[in-house]
Chain A
Amino acid sequence: MNAARAGKAPRSGKMLPGYNFAYLDEESKRMIRRGLLKAVAIPGFQIPFGGREMPLPYGWGTGGIQVTASIITPEDVLKVIDQGADDTTNAVSIRQFFERVAGIASTTRTREATIIQTRHRIPETPLASGQIMVFQVPIPEPLRFIEPSETETATLHALGDYGIMHVKLYEDIVRHGHIATCYAYPVEVNGRYVMDPSPIPRFDNPKLHMSPALMLFGAGREKRLYALPPHTAVVSLDFEDHPFAIQRPEAACAICGSTESYLDELIVDDAGARRYVCSDTDYCQRRAEARGEARGEAS
Chain B
Amino acid sequence: MSALAHGMRMDAALPADVPAMENSQALMQADGLCRLFGPEQGCQDISFTLYPGEVLGLVGESGSGKSTLLSTLSGRLPPDRGRVRYRDGADWVDLYATGEGRRRALLRTQWGFVEQNPRDGLRMPVSAGANIGERLMAQGARHYGRLRQSALDWLRHVEIDISRIDDTPNAFSGGMQQRLQIARNLVSGPRLVFMDEPTGGLDVSVQARILDLLRKLVRELDLSVILVTHDLAVARLLADRLMVMRRSRIVEAGLTDQILDDPQHPYTQLLVSSILRV
Contact = CB atoms under 8 A, between A and B. Distances in A.
A164 B134 contact: yes
Which of B123, B127, B138 has most chain A Cβ within 10 Å?
B138
B138 A146 contact: no
B142 interface: yes
Interface stretch (A92-100, A129-137, A166-174): A166-174
A171 B101 contact: no
Interface residues of B, number: 21
A155 B143 CA distance: 25
A250 to B, nearest CB: 26
Contact of A170 (B101, B125, B135, B137): B137
A241 B143 contact: yes
Contacts, number: 54
Contact of A166 (B100, B104, B137): B137
A34 interface: no
Main secondary structure on A side of the interface with B: helix
A163 interface: yes
Given A170-B147, A239-B144, A241-B145, A163 B126 contact: no
A241 B123 contact: no
Contacts of B104: 159, 161
B142 A166 contact: yes
A163 B137 contact: yes
Interface string B140-184: 001111010000000000000000001000000000000000000
B254 interface: no
B198 interface: no
B199 to A, nearest CB: 27
Contacts of B112: none
B122 to A, nearest CB: 12
Contact of B144 (A163, A164, A170, A175): A170
A163 B142 contact: no
A164 B138 contact: yes
A163 B147 contact: no
B110 to A, nearest CB: 16
Main secondary structure on B side of the interface with A: helix
Nearest to B127: A174
Nearest to A155: B100
A297 interface: no
Contact residues on A (Cβ < 8 Å of other chain), bracket: 10 to 19
Contacts of B139: 163
Contacts of A164: 134, 137-138
A242 interface: yes
Contact of A171 (B130, B135, B138, B145): B130
Given A167-B126, A170-B129, A240 B142 contact: yes
Contacts of B263: none
Nearest to B166: A174
Contact of B127 (A171, A240, A241): A171
Given A240-B143, A241-B143, A163 B166 contact: no
Contacts of A239: 142-144
A159 B138 CA distance: 12
Contact of B123 (A146, A174, A238): A146
Nearest to A170: B130
Interface in A134-173: 146, 155, 159, 161, 163-164, 166-168, 170-171, 173
B7 interface: no
Given A171-B126, A240-B142, 7 more contacts: A161-B138, A167-B134, A168-B126, A170-B147, A174-B166, A241-B143, A242-B144
Interface of A: 146, 155, 159, 161, 163-164, 166-168, 170-171, 173-175, 238-242
Interface of B: 100-101, 104, 123, 125-127, 129-130, 133-135, 137-139, 142-145, 147, 166
For the complex of A and B, 7 pairs with smallest distance between CB atoms: A163-B138, A166-B137, A163-B137, A239-B144, A240-B143, A159-B101, A170-B130
24 contacts: A146-B125, A155-B100, A159-B101, A159-B104, A161-B104, A161-B138, A163-B134, A163-B137, A163-B138, A163-B139, A166-B137, A168-B126, A170-B126, A170-B130, A170-B147, A171-B127, A171-B130, A174-B129, A174-B130, A238-B142, A239-B142, A239-B143, A241-B144, A241-B145
